[in-house]
Amino acid sequence: MVGPALVLLVAIYLYPLARLVVLSLTGADGGLGFDAYRRFLESSVYLGVLLRTFRISLIVTVVCLVAAYPVGYVLTRVGAVPLRIIMVLVLLPLWTSILVRTYAWMVLLQANGVLNNVLRRLHVIDEPLRLMYNETGVVIGMAQVLLPFAILPIYASLRNIDPRLLAAARVMGAGSWRRFRSVTLPLSLPGVAAAGLLVFVQALGFFITPALLGGSRVITLAMVIETQVVDLLDWSLASALAMVLLVVTVVLVIGFDRLLGLDKVWV
């Protein structure tokens, strides 16, 4: 049974990856070289895009973790029925088209969109807030899409905490804040780290949401790759950029594994 599985793995993952490496090393003239990588490193534009992609991913990750932790905590405290209801609400976005959701955010966030209109009617603001075609809009949209990937690992790690540890802490005189700070929080950190990794890695390669909500003002690496392939037909540079993203991701995953053990991501 190992044989066919190996063939499948090679066909689906290894071969395309190898093609990507070869493409990134193939110049316009068909010769092999690091030309594409040199062009990437020499251009401040591409480096700027890479930096912005990291910055946005990092902000999205932080926003997701901060929003997800209370949800995960509440999930461990409620009965079976509310648990199921909240769980469905958490997962519902995952079953909805990401394109539809992003357009929905555009309806909500644009200058004469739902949010701005409501705020103006309530006289909270006079001028419409700029919530789209900037990093704010991109972060809002991406965080909403990626939130379930933060909630689930955090909930799993919180649920795995032995309630007897909290009972023990309580008997020893620890009040609720002390119990949270000394027991719950540290024991849930592997879940937080796993959630952060899942969100960050996905955010790095995000395309649809930044493209629609950020427009031409917020260019991310995935958008540059798309432009290179579709408009400029520069497969070499596109592949080199994809490789940079891949290498960074792999380095992050390995670092995480060294630090905490990758098996904890999926518990």
Partner 1 sequence: MSRSVVTLVGVSKAYGRTVALNNVSLDVAEGEFVTLLGPSGSGKTTTLMLIAGFERPTTGEILIRGESVVVRPPEKRDIGMVFQSYALFPHMTVFDNVAFPLRTRRLAGPEVTQRVDEALAAVRMSGLDGRYPRQLSGGQQQRIALARALVYRPSLLLMDEPLGALDKKLREEMQSELKSLQRELGITTLYVTHDQQEALALSDRIAIMNGGDLVQVGAPLALYEHPATDFVAGFLGDVNVVDGVVVEVAGGPVRILITEGPEVLTLAGPPVATGKRVRVTIRPERLEIAPTRTGGPNGWRGRVREMTFYGELVRYGVDVEPGLVLKVTRPFHGQGTLFAVGQEIWLTSKPDDWRLFA
Pick the piece of the chain touching partner 1 (CB under 8 A) from 97-105, 147-155, 180-188, 208-216. 180-188
Measured from the CB atom, the residue of 7 and 267 that comes closer to partner 1 is 267
- Residue 30 lies near partner 1 (rule: CB under 8 A): no
CA distance linking residue 54 with residue 143, whole number of Å: 14
- Residue 260 lies near partner 1 (rule: CB under 8 A): no
Among 112, 164, 230, 231, binds partner 1 (CB under 8 A): 164
Measured from the CB atom, the residue of 31 and 175 that comes closer to partner 1 is 175
- Residue 99 lies near partner 1 (rule: CB under 8 A): no
Pick the piece of the chain touching partner 1 (CB under 8 A) from 115-123, 129-137, 168-176, 220-228. 168-176
Among 2, 5, 172, 230, binds partner 1 (CB under 8 A): 172
**Interface size with partner 1, residues (CB under 8 A):** 17
β-bridge mates for residue 32, sequence order: 26
Supply the minimum distance, in Å, between the C-beta of residue 174 and partner 1. 5
- Residue 123 lies near partner 1 (rule: CB under 8 A): no
Among 111, 178, 217, 263, binds partner 1 (CB under 8 A): 178
- Residue 186 lies near partner 1 (rule: CB under 8 A): yes
Measured from the CB atom, the residue of 254 and 259 that comes closer to partner 1 is 259
Measured from the CB atom, the residue of 62 and 260 that comes closer to partner 1 is 260
Measured from the CB atom, the residue of 169 and 253 that comes closer to partner 1 is 169
Residue 26: CB atoms within 10 A of its CB come to 17
Contact 103, 212 (CB under 8 A): yes
Phi, psi of 32 (to 5 degrees): -85, 145
Q: For residue 62, how far is the Cα from the chain centroid?
A: 10
Supply the minimum distance, in Å, between the C-beta of residue 75 and partner 1. 22
Q: Contact residues for partner 1 (CB under 8 A)?
A: 162, 164-165, 167-175, 178, 182-183, 186-187
